[in-house]
Amino acid sequence: MDNLFPERFTELLNESDMNYDEVAEKLGFKSKGTISKYANGKNKKVDISTVIQISNLFNVSPIWLIGLTDDRNYTIK
pTM exceeds 0.85: yes
Question: pLDDT, tens digit, for every residue of 18-49?
Answer: 999 999 999 999 999 999 999 999 988 899 99
Question: Has residue 1 got a pLDDT over 50?
Answer: no
- Report how far residue 30's alpha carbon sits from residue 53's, in angstroms, rounded to the nearest whole number: 15
How many residues are there in the chain?
77
- For residues 8 and 38, the answer to whether their CB atoms sit within 8 Å is no
